[in-house]
Amino acid sequence: MEKSLNALIGKRLKEARKCMGLTLGEVAEKMGFASYQTLGSIESGKREIKAWELAKLARIYYRDVSYFLSEEQETKSFPVLWRTKSSSPEVKSYERKFVRFCENYACMEELSGLKPPESLDRFKYSKADFSFSFVKKLAGRYSAILQLGRRPACSLARVLGETFAVKVLRLQMGTEGSGASTWGPFGPAILVNADEVPWRQNFSLAHELFHLLTVDVFKTEEIYRSSTGEKSKVEQFADSFASTLLLPRDEVRQEFEPRIRKGKISYLDCVEIAGKFGVSTQALLWSLVDLKLVNREEARRVIADPELRSLDPRLPFSDFTQVSKFPDRYVAIAFRCMQLGQISRGKFAEFMEIDRQEIPGFLSRYGLDEDKDYSFELPTRRR
Amino acid sequence: MNSLLVDANVVIDAHRLGFWQQFVAKNQIHIASTVLKLEALFYFDSENNKRSINLSHELSKHKLVKVRATVSEIKDLWNKFDLAFAPLLDLGEVECLTILERQKDLKFYTSDKAAIKALALLGLPDRGISLQRALKERGLQKNLSDKYSDKFFKRYVKQGQQMRIMGQGLK
C-alpha cells in the first residue's frame, strides 16, 4: 500500500513538474532541498513524501493536493488557446495558474450553488461562412445579446462573468502575450495580461471572446501567427470582432461628428473618444475608417506616426480604474463560502493566493470583514 | 494539563493577541508538521508590522510537541469525505484531523468554521474545544471576539452534526 502510494504520488509529481516546464533542480531549490536527488527519489517513489512537502509542492505546481493522491486519471485535457505557439516554462506556468483559478472558481460555484444564469453559445457556423462583414454582424448581434450599453468596455468583464459564466483572470505576464482563452470542464474562461495598458486589456477580452465563441470552428493551429510574425486570418477576424463589439457604430458616430471643425478633428479629440470607449486610438481610427468617417490612408499615416502614437498612454481620459487580478464575483463567492464554513480560512487564502495572515487586509479592500456576522437571513414572500 | 492540538490560526492569533507564552505554559501544545513548516510562520502585530513566529526554542525545550501524519494516513481520512459536500480544508487542517483521530488523548483547538464542521462531521465533536473554554479551564481570562467563544464553536459543531445526520459530507 505504502509503496504503491509513493509510486502514485511520485508519478503525479513528475507530471505536474513537467507540465510547469520546471527541472528537478529548480523545484528542489524552491523546496529548500539540499540536492535535486531528494526530489528525484520522491518522484521515483523510493522516498516517502512528508505532508508538508506535499503541501508545498502542490502550491508550486498550482494543483490541489487531491490531484496527487487520486488514482483516477485527470479528465480529458483541453487546449488553452494562445495567439502565438510557445512552450516556454513561463507560458506553461501562466497556463497552469489560469487553469487552477478556473478549477477553484468552479468548485466554489458548486459549493455555494451560485451559478450564473446563462451560458455562452458556441458558434455552429462553418469556416466558409466567415468573412469580415460576417464577423462584424456577429459582433453586432453579440453586443445586443450581452447588453453591454453605450460603453461596452466598461461592462464587458462584469457581464461575461456575472451573466455568462465566463471566468476572467488578469495575470501579470510581462511580454508573454496579451491573453489566452479556454473552454474546460469549468466552462469558458479568459486570461488577460495585466501588465498591458487598460485599453489593451479591454481589447484582449473582446478578442478572446471571439475565440471562445468560435472554438468549434477553427483549429488551434489556425490561430497562431505565421513564422514571419504575421497575424493569421482568424486573428484578424478576432480583432475585427473586438473592435466592432467595443465601438458601437452609432455611439462612435455620435461622439465623433460634433467634434468635426472645418472638415477636421483634432488628434486630442480622437484620443479622448478612444479613452471614453476604453480602446486604443488605433482601434478607434480603424473604426472611423470602417464608418467611412476617415480615409484609410489618413488613418494609416496617423497610426504610423510614432509621435502621435506616443500620446496614447500619457492621456488619462479613460474612466478605467485599475482592476484587480480576480473578478469581484470570485472574491465574493469565496468570502461567502468561508463565512458559511464551506471552505476554511487556509483554503480561502490559497484561492486568493495570499497568506492566511493577510486575509483581514485583503478583505478590507473589498469592504468586507470576516469577524462580522453575516448569518442573518431575511424572510421572503416566496417559498 | 490539557493536551491541545492547535491549527495555524490559533498559533497566529495567540501571538497576535499576546497570550502565546501563557498558553504554552498552561497547556501541552501539539503542532502538526504542515502548520509548523508552512502555515504559522508570521503574524501582523497591532500596528500591522510583520513579525516572525519562531517556535524552535519551545520545541527544543519540549514545551511544544511536533506531530505528523503520514500521507497515507491523510489519504485514508480524505477518503472518508464526500468532497462535493464536505467543507474544503487545506492540508494543515486535514493533517490535524488525521492526528486527532489517531491520538485519542488530544483535543483540537480551532476557531475555523470549516474545520469545526469537519470535526463534527467525523463524529468527533467532543474532541474539539473553543479558545474561551481552553483558557477558562486554565484560569486565564481574556476579552475575546465572538469567533473564539464557546457559543461560536457550538454553532458550527451543530452544523456539522446536522450534515452528518442528513448524510451529507461523508462517503
B31 close contact with A: CB closer than 8 A: no
- CA atoms within 13 Å, Cβ hemisphere of A136: 11
Q: How far apart are CA A96 and CA B149, in angstroms?
A: 40
**Given an 8 Å threshold on Cβ–Cβ distance, is A344 in contact with B37?**
no
Sequence-distant (6+) residues with CB within 8 A of A129 are none
**Given an 8 Å threshold on Cβ–Cβ distance, is A5 in contact with B93?**
no
List the single residue in B with minimal CA-CA distance to A108.
B88
A112 close contact with B: CB closer than 8 A: no
- Residue pLDDT, tens place only, B88-134: 999 999 999 999 999 999 999 999 999 999 999 999 999 999 988 88
Which ipTM score applies to this complex? 0.95
A110 close contact with B: CB closer than 8 A: yes
pLDDT at A313 (0 to 100): 56
pLDDT at A312 (0 to 100): 66
| Stretch 83-102 of chain B: residues touching chain A, C-beta under 8 Å | 83-84, 87-95
Can you read off the three cell numbers belonging to residue A374? 453575516
**Given an 8 Å threshold on Cβ–Cβ distance, is B78 in contact with A343?**
no
pLDDT at A73 (0 to 100): 67
A193, A323 in Cβ contact below 8 A? no
How many residues make up chain B in this entry? 171
pLDDT at B143 (0 to 100): 75
R_g over Cα of chain A? 24
**Given an 8 Å threshold on Cβ–Cβ distance, is B113 in contact with A339?**
yes
**Given an 8 Å threshold on Cβ–Cβ distance, is B39 in contact with A58?**
no
3-state helix/strand/coil string of A199-238: HHHHHHHHHHHHHHHCCCCCCHHHHCCCCCCCCCHHHHHH
Can you read off the three cell numbers belonging to residue B71? 500521507
In terms of Cα–Cα distance, which of B54, B51, B52, B4 is closest to B24? B4
Can you read off the three cell numbers belonging to residue A88? 516556454
pLDDT tens track of chain A, all 383 residues?
577 999 999 999 999 999 999 999 999 999 999 999 999 999 999 999 999 999 999 999 999 999 999 887 666 678 899 988 777 889 999 999 999 999 999 999 999 988 877 788 899 999 999 999 999 999 999 999 999 999 999 999 999 999 999 999 999 999 888 999 999 999 999 999 999 988 899 999 999 999 999 999 998 888 887 777 788 999 999 999 999 999 999 999 999 999 999 999 998 899 889 989 999 888 999 999 999 999 999 999 988 888 877 776 554 444 555 678 999 999 999 999 999 999 999 999 999 999 999 999 999 999 999 988 887 888 888 77
Q: How far apart are CA B74 and CA B85, in angstroms?
A: 18
Which residues from B are below 8 Å from A52, CB to CB? Answer: 33-34, 36-38, 91
Q: How far apart are CA A254 and CA A247, in angstroms?
A: 11
- Residue pLDDT, tens place only, B121-130: 999 999 999 9
A357, B42 in Cβ contact below 8 A? yes
B30, B3 in Cβ contact below 8 A? yes
Q: How much is the mean pLDDT over chain B? A: 92
* Inter-residue long-range contacts of A27-33, CB under 8 Å, 24+ positions, other chains counted: A27/A57, A27/A60, A30/A60, A31/A56, A31/A57, A31/A60
Can you read off the three cell numbers belonging to residue B146? 465572538
Q: How far apart are CA A272 and CA B26, in angstroms?
A: 68
B135, B4 in Cβ contact below 8 A? no
Q: How far apart are CA B15 and CA B113, in angstroms?
A: 20
List the single residue in B with minimal CA-CA distance to A56.
B38
Q: SS3 of A170, please?
A: strand
